[in-house]
Chain A
Amino acid sequence: MSSFDLINMALRNLWKRKLRTFLTVLGVIIGTASIVVMISVGIGMNVGYRQQIEEMGSLYVINVNAPYSSDSNSKEKVQIDTASLEKFRKIEGVEAVTPVLQEYFTLIDGRYVYDTSIMGILPETMEAMGLDVSTGRTLQEGDSMAVVLSAYAKTGFYNPKLSWQYRWNGSQSIEIDPYNDKFQITYDNNYGTKQMDKSIKPKKIQVVGEMKENGQNSYYTVMPIADVEKIVAEREKYQKSKGQTTNTNKKKGVYNSAMVKADDIDSVERIQQELKDMGFETYSLVDYLKQTQETSKMLQMVLGAIGAISLIVAAIGIANTMVMSIYERTREIGVMKVIGATVSDIRRLFLTEAAFIGFMGGLTGVAISYGVSKIINVVGVNMGRQTLSAIPIWLGILGIIFATFVGVAAGFFPAVRATKLSALAAIKTE
């Protein structure tokens, strides 16, 4: 019997018992849809995590730190300096490198001040490092005494003359105009209070942009590293003149951290490993992404297993339908055998019918899953999550194949049973 005839006959047999076929297929639809939707939620969480993480910053950027205490007996001191930065640039897949200097300065806008963490970087690398702005622009090559304000600066300025209690609660929020106000910067964190040292002269500074919110670097005010170094040098001079110990024991040209941008997400891990091999400590959002992926993989498996139970129930339904069908068609099977059907013809016929039940259930189930996934995501958006459920194409195709396979597996025992029927006994059945 040719495959064409086999399929034709199988479909006709299924069509003849429409209602039963439909109910059996319905079981598979529910089974497939619950597996696919369950797994899609697992995957969706993954996608959601990723979106959240990407929001935090670029997945391509690796933060590099010098080890806290480098081995005293190691000949070469592991530190981030011009030489090692040059080595970083030479690693394959590295697109940009910048040293990072972190400080804590005070910004001045007229009567108001804002204490901010400063990140000093090479201005031309700002865009590459994924330090996105919400307004204005990122720092560019040639920028000097320019800053991109912290995302929280707008609401962070306060009147330093007021006592602590009134700074935050008492007064209304202070309106600042980042692009028209005149800003100054100082290392004197007591500026404007009674303890301020008038001899410390703040420097004029220009705001060119504001950091995007919700990123891991949003609270930084970003400055060209050269400017930061200049201010730090002045502070050291000031502190020495006062006989104070300097609070940075920083040698010039040595930094405590750096940022490295990879050209591809897949190179991130490799570059990180190379940096680690050089003795540096590294951290990237990919590390974090990996962790969340592990978690969601577990979740996917648990959810998938829950969905699988309903598909197992559907498989039992298919087996039941096929066995019933064999009882009903005993005579028909006998007749077919007598007029020349081979054992394999009979087996293939039943397997094909079972496979079709699985296939149709799988196809419809996956189609419904896409719909359910849409609905879940609409609800998710209302709940403030971007993606709750995602069905990649491979999952859809796998769902259909799996359902078909379940059909064949469930039909196997009944099919073998059908072939074992004696042709004669089958004909004698009334």
Chain B
Amino acid sequence: MSEDIIKLRNLKKIYRMGDEKIAAVNNVTLNFERGTVTCLLGKSGSGKSTLLNLISGLEKPTKGEIIIKGLHVERMDETQLAKFRQQYIGFVFQSYNLLGNLTALENVTLPLIFKRVGIKERKERAMEMLKAVGLEKRASHKPSQLSGGQQQRVSIARAFVNNPEIVFADEPTGNLDTKTTYQMMDLMMGLSGKNKQTLIIVTHDMEISDYAQRIVHLSDGRIERIEYNSESIKHSNELGKARREEVK
């Protein structure tokens, strides 16, 4: 029996726009098992990003509880959140969000710098991560010298360099073509599989959801239904290969 690393209780986020109230996340109760891949699926505006931001503490809920590893995220202050993120969380964004004046290697090193890891160790670890995403030859390149796919690889390396227990990805392949999308997904699956990391991926792309063991369908801020994927690509390399062949 695996434990639930994340527990959401009656989570609610209401945005006020003048007199109008928008319930971006409405009464969500959901658990995430350690080491699993969950996909949040839904149309644009269904509240996927908001839910993800609530879980990662980037936004405060209007109501409800977020308990990660027994800690109440909604009660943390800025400093506690920063330490918490340093410790347990990695992020992959749709728009990569690399720092433009740092090299690929330095971008990957950044979370370790904030965590005060020693110079030698962090360089080794960052280089190792770059190798894992196949960009060791681009270590000293600036983001502007890299393609979209390469930038996203750097961003993935940055998310995993700390070996976080949880990785959040908000539409990580939204800006990439289909072929690169699969490469990226394979990469994340490979990395998270190795260390039994918990992965939460937001997408509106049905194809991507095939990688997840569980698909949470969202609509108007509510959970519409939950689907379990017995044959997730993560577990069946055959399927993955088949898909990649298709694309080629």
Known: A338-B58, A423-B58. A16 touches B82 (CB 8 A): no
A335, B82: Cβ atoms closer than 8 Å: no
| Given known A-B contacts A344-B79, A427-B93, A336 and B114 have beta carbons under 8 A apart | yes
Q: A2 and B82 in contact (CB under 8 A), knowing A12-B101, A16-B101, A338-B91?
A: no
Let me know if B163 is at the binding interface, CB within 8 A: no
User: CA separation between A339 and B167, bound complex, in Å?
Assistant: 11
Q: Which residue from chain A places its CB closest to the CB of B78 in the assembled complex? A: A343
* Across-interface contacts of B162 in A (CB, < 8 A): 340
In the bound complex, CA of A343 to CA of B100 (Å): 21
Per-position binary interface string of chain B over residues 70-112, scored 1 when its CB falls under 8 Å from any chain A CB and 0 otherwise: 0000000011001101100001010101111110000000110
A427 touches B114 (CB 8 A): no
Judged by a CB distance under 8 angstroms, whether B115 is at the interface is yes
Minimum Cβ distance to chain A for residue B55 (Å): 13
Closest 6 CB pairs of A and B: A340-B86, A340-B114, A342-B82, A424-B58, A335-B97, A16-B101
Is A331 located at the chain interface by the 8 A CB criterion? yes
Kindly identify, within residues 1 to 54 of chain A, every residue whose CB is under 8 Å from any CB belonging to chain B: 1-2, 5, 12-13, 16
The residues of B that contact A340 with a CB separation of less than 8 Å are: 82-83, 85-86, 111, 114-115, 162
Chain A residues within 8 Å of B, Cβ to Cβ: 1-2, 5, 12-13, 16, 331-332, 335-345, 423-424, 427, 430
Query: How distant is A428 from chain B, measured CB to nearest CB, in Å?
Result: 10
| B48 on the A face (CB < 8 A) | no
Q: How far is the CB of A130 from chain B (nearest CB, A)?
A: 64
Taking a contact as CB atoms under 8 Å apart, the answer to whether B85 and A338 are in contact is yes
- The residues of B with any CB-CB pair to A shorter than 8 Å are 53, 56, 58-59, 78-79, 82-83, 85-86, 91, 93, 95, 97-102, 110-111, 113-116, 158, 162
Residues of A close to B113: CB separation below 8 A: 1-2, 5
- List 22 A-B pairs, Cβ < 8 Å: A2-B113, A2-B116, A336-B114, A337-B82, A338-B58, A338-B91, A338-B97, A339-B110, A339-B111, A339-B114, A340-B82, A340-B83, A340-B85, A340-B114, A342-B82, A342-B83, A343-B78, A344-B79, A345-B114, A424-B59, A427-B58, A430-B95
Chain B residue with Cβ nearest A6: B113
Bound Cα distance A344, B116 (Å): 14
Interface-central residue, A336, A338, A342, A424, by most chain B CB under 10 Å? A338
Chain B residues with CB under 8 Å of A13's CB are 101
| Residues of chain A contacted by B86 (CB below 8 angstroms) | 340
Residues of B close to A5: CB separation below 8 A:
113
Q: Contacts A1-B116, A16-B101, A344-B79 given; indicate if A336 touches B110 (C-beta within 8 A).
A: yes
Is the beta-carbon distance between B85 and A339 smaller than 8 angstroms? yes
- Nearest CB of chain B from residue A422's CB, rounded to whole Å: 8
* Complex CA–CA separation, A342 to B113 (angstroms): 11
Among A331, A339, A341, A344, chain B packs the most CB atoms within 10 A around the CB of A339
**Chain B nearest CB, measured from A355 CB (Å):** 19
Residue of B nearest to A424 (CB): B58
Which residues from A are CB-within-8-Å of B114? 1, 336, 339-342, 345
- In angstroms, Cα B102 to Cα A345, docked, is 17
Judging by beta carbons under 8 Å apart, are B99 and A332 in contact? yes
How many angstroms from the CA of A12 to the CA of B110 in the assembled complex?
14
Q: A residues within 8 A CB of B99? A: 332, 335-336
A336 to B59, CA, bound (A): 16
What's the nearest-Cβ distance from chain A to residue B23, in Å? 18
Report the bound CA distance from A341 to B83 in whole Å. Answer: 8
Q: Which of B78, B93, B102, B116 has the most CB of A within 10 A?
A: B78
Least Cβ–Cβ distance between B44 and chain A, in angstroms: 15
Would you give the shortest CB distance from A11 to chain B, in whole angstroms? 11
List residues of chain B with CB within 8 A of the CB of A12: 101-102
Given A335-B97, A423-B58, A424-B53, are A343 and B79 also a contact pair (CB < 8 Å)? yes
Separation of A234 and B177 alpha carbons in the complex (Å)? 124
Instruction: Name the distance in Å between B20's Cβ and chain A's nearest Cβ.
Output: 20
Taken together as a complex, chains A and B put the C-alpha atoms of A310 and B29 apart, in Å, by: 61
User: Given contacts A5-B113, A335-B99, A336-B110, are A341 and B82 in contact (CB under 8 A)?
Assistant: yes
- From B100, which residue of chain A is reached at the shortest CB distance? A332
Bound complex: CA A336 to CA B40 (Å): 25
Report whether A331 and B97 are in contact in the complex, using a CB–CB cutoff of 8 Å. yes
Q: How far is the CB of B24 from chain A (nearest CB, A)?
A: 13
